[in-house]
Amino acid sequence: MTRGYLSKAKTEILASRGLRLITPKRRNMKQSKPITIDDKALLSKRGLIETVNDQLKNLHHIEHSRHRSVFNFMVNMMAAVVAYFLSPSKPKAQRIIQI
């Protein structure tokens, strides 16, 4: 995992593109806006998302850049996703109880 520098300038560049950067609060960070409940729920699922991405990439070989056509790429992507769903050892998500 790469660690990045979270600057206000980079956050503003992403915002100009319509993206919102959601990061956990670190000890050495200056006081910023409080994190919303929705953002906290998304951050709690980050580990699960990273695990699924890792399994798709390493076990189902989704990271393959030598496709000769877009159709071939999509077939490979769909085959990897189907293989993932049929895999018996998937990570499980716990339900989030909304208040």
In terms of phi and psi (left: phi > 0; alpha: psi -120 to 50; beta: otherwise), the region of 91 is: beta
Tens of pLDDT, residue by residue over 29-69, are 666 667 788 888 888 888 888 888 888 887 777 776 677 88
Hey, where are the domains in the chain? 8-86
pTM above 0.75, yes or no: no
Q: Is the pLDDT of residue 8 over 90?
A: no
- Is the sign of the CA dihedral 49, 50, 51, 54 positive or negative? positive
**Confidence (pLDDT) at 16:** 93
